[in-house]
Amino acid sequence: MIKTSTDILIVGAGPVGLTGALIAHELGLSVRIIERRPTAQSAPAAHVINARTFEIWRQIGLDVEKIRSSAQSPEQAGFVHWVTRLGEKVLGTLQYEQQGDDNLSVTPTPLRNLSQHLLEPLLVSELKNRGIGVEYASTWEAYEEGPDGVISSVAIDGQNEKIFSKWLIACDGASSTVRNACGISMIGPDNLQKFITVHFKADLKSLTASNPGVLYWICDPRAGGTLISHGGDNEWVYMYPIADGDEAHISPSECDQLIRKAIAPTSATIMVLRQSSWTMTSQFADSYRLSHVLLAGDAAHRFPPSGGMGLNTGVGDIHNLMWKINRIEEGFADSSLLDTYEKERRPIAERNAQASMDNAFKMFDVFMALGIDPDTEVAFANLNRVLEDAEAMRVLDQAIQNQATHFDMLGLQIGYRYILPTSTTELEPLTDEIIRNYRPSVEVGNRLPHGWLERNGEKISSLDLVSLDEYSIIGGSEFVSDLPHIKIGRDIQDADNWWSQILGLSTNEGLLVRPDQHIELRLSSN
């Protein structure tokens, strides 16, 4: 029996676990990351990387521009369409998120579409460059709790190993083995809708050239589903709703037929790579922590994909968690600091889940406007009547335009706020305004607003001022403190008057900012 030890053992090498390992390394913590899959993700899964996730990767020293260059461009993936079939009549179009350079005033890294199976190798490579390898084909089996950490039983390359870790972090997904071993239950609806997902390759540029986009909602009821572009019009996922039990009866040849029904006639070769089924849920772990074991990402929460918040919420989780572990390990806090992890992150996950659920259910308005019916032929006849009726088309258009919030969630992505002991207000109820529109704020608990500054002749983001391993003071005057103090106008040049005009702060005010770039306290030198 092999016995080893590490500060942190991460179970699960998806984007959340990989980000956690990268943060741990950046903080000087020893870390191991194990994954039951034999390799990195090979099939498309999550594909939306929002601005806040990129900001977090930027803070931990990743080559963010390299990652972004691997993503689909805004020109490729900047729209979502409702079509009768791919390459036929377009019923409506919406912009897909705020991806353009006009958003550089509020974030240094606007949203991009990058499929998980393309993303994971990039993150693995970043880890490898730091001397850390992902231990694939490794099965986490059980653990024993001790006074100073946990001992995990793990099978690696056919050998049994006991790994002592001060902290065990479960990033092993919706069916988390670690969570189940802890006896932590999931709360909430667990079967909202079942889908079959077909990953295929086909050159469909001839059908998309005039209407490029990332999502195509197929409105023909004979093939009603969603086509998702995962790479330059030749790598696709087709997502199709099914009834419980139907997945066992859908063969690869039937998948090919379904895809053929969803697209206009074409001579393109369709290569079905794999098919799988999944169930849409909206659930939360009844606890994010059990002593030295903590849950992050889908192990802690899972909600509908409508909004693309799953992966990104998980990255936010691990960012919040890792700096707190570091403060404990450096002796600046005791383990009670980790009680704040769930207190801060659960409300964010709940709001993201609410928005995702609202998006999913709002789509029924489109289906109703199309004349949805359990009988496919009746539904098809209803669709044709809608296409021939000007008033029915007006109703359909309005139903599509009402989906705008679904694909425009910048405010939710970078504008979320933690309720801290120093907070003076509670979270506002979610509205379309809050979800869509980001407004820079220095209220306690908010992410430090982004602004373009200059340091030693180099253009930087205000977010670049915040150290990952300690609190920072940013202000217009001196403050009595041993903490790093960045003075606007001395250390940093502020040509755009970001401090006074955008943030509305005077020269005698300052901000105490946490390592995760969220504001802990407003300060005054008076």
**Contact status, residue 127 vs residue 10, Cβ threshold 8 Å:** no
Q: What's the pLDDT tens digit per position in 197-208?
A: 999 999 999 999
Q: What's the pLDDT tens digit per position in 410-433?
A: 999 999 999 999 888 888 999 999
Q: How far is CA 95 from CA 84, 211, 498, in A?
A: 19, 12, 29
Q: What's the pLDDT tens digit per position in 55-67?
A: 999 999 999 999 9
Q: How many residues does the chain have?
A: 526
Of 263, 235, 213, 242, residue with least CA distance to 77: 213
Q: Is the dihedral of CA 280, 172, 185, 354 positive or negative?
A: negative
Q: How far is CA 281 from CA 187, 298, 391, in A?
A: 10, 11, 36
* Whole-number pLDDT of residue 247: 63
**Contact status, residue 126 vs residue 116, Cβ threshold 8 Å:** no
335-344, 371-380, 469-478: range with lowest mean pLDDT: 469-478
**Contact status, residue 463 vs residue 517, Cβ threshold 8 Å:** yes
**Contact status, residue 184 vs residue 299, Cβ threshold 8 Å:** no
| CATH fold label, 2-71+114-187+283-352 | FAD/NAD(P)-binding domain (3.50.50)
pLDDT band at 1 (very low <50, low <70, confident <90, very high): low
Q: What's the pLDDT tens digit per position in 225-237?
A: 999 998 766 899 9
Q: Is 21 buried (19+), middle (13-18) or exposed (0-12) by CB count in 10 A?
A: buried
Find tokens 């079959």 and name the residue.
Answer: 196
Q: What's the pLDDT tens digit per position in 389-415?
A: 999 999 999 999 999 999 999 999 999
Of 235, 240, 220, residue with least CA distance to 87: 220
Apex CA 400: angle with CA 91 and CA 440, to 5°? Answer: 130
Q: Which residues of 279-306 are buried (b: 16+ CB within 10 A; e: fewer)?
A: ebbbbbbebbbbebbbbbbbbbbbbbbb
Full 3-state SS string of 377-421:
HHHHHHHHHHHCCHHHHHHHHHHHHCCHHHHCCHHHHHCCECCCC
Q: Is the pLDDT of residue 256 over 90?
A: no
In the structure encoding, which two tokens stand for residue 390, read together?
Answer: 């000007």
In the structure encoding, which two tokens stand for residue 322, read together?
Answer: 């890792």
Find tokens 């100073």 and name the residue.
Answer: 148
What average pLDDT score do residues 115-128 get?
A: 95
Q: What's the pLDDT tens digit per position in 151-198?
A: 999 998 888 999 999 999 999 999 999 999 999 999 998 888 888 899
What average pLDDT score do residues 68-87 get?
A: 94
**Contact status, residue 329 vs residue 7, Cβ threshold 8 Å:** yes
Q: Could you give the angle at which helices 339-369 and 390-401 cross, rounded to 10 degrees?
A: 170
**Contact status, residue 84 vs residue 264, Cβ threshold 8 Å:** no
Radius of gyration, CA atoms only, the chain: 24
Q: What's the pLDDT tens digit per position in 210-230?
A: 999 999 999 999 888 999 998
Q: Considering the domain delimited by 73-111+193-279+370-408, tell me its CATH architecture.
A: 2-Layer Sandwich (3.30)
Q: Is the pLDDT of residue 248 over 90?
A: no
Apex CA 229: angle with CA 114 and CA 249, to 5°? Answer: 115
* Whole-number pLDDT of residue 140: 97
Of 124, 125, 126, 110, residue with least CA distance to 73: 110
* Whole-number pLDDT of residue 243: 80
What average pLDDT score do residues 348-360 get?
A: 94
Find tokens 């999931």 and name the residue.
Answer: 186
Say how many C-beta atoms besides its own lie within 10 A of residue 110's C-beta: 20
As a whole number of angstroms, the distance between CA 309 and CA 296 comes to 14
In Å, the largest CA–CA distance within the chain is 75
**Contact status, residue 515 vs residue 323, Cβ threshold 8 Å:** yes
Find tokens 């099939």 and name the residue.
Answer: 43
Name the pTM for this structure.
0.95
Q: Is the pLDDT of residue 275 over 90?
A: no
Q: Does the domain made of 412-524 have the CATH classification 3.40.30.120? A: yes
Per domain, the residue ranges of the chain are 2-71+114-187+283-352, 73-111+193-279+370-408, 412-524
In the structure encoding, which two tokens stand for residue 492, read together?
Answer: 């940093």
* Whole-number pLDDT of residue 233: 64
Number of helices (H), then strands (E), in the chain: 14, 25
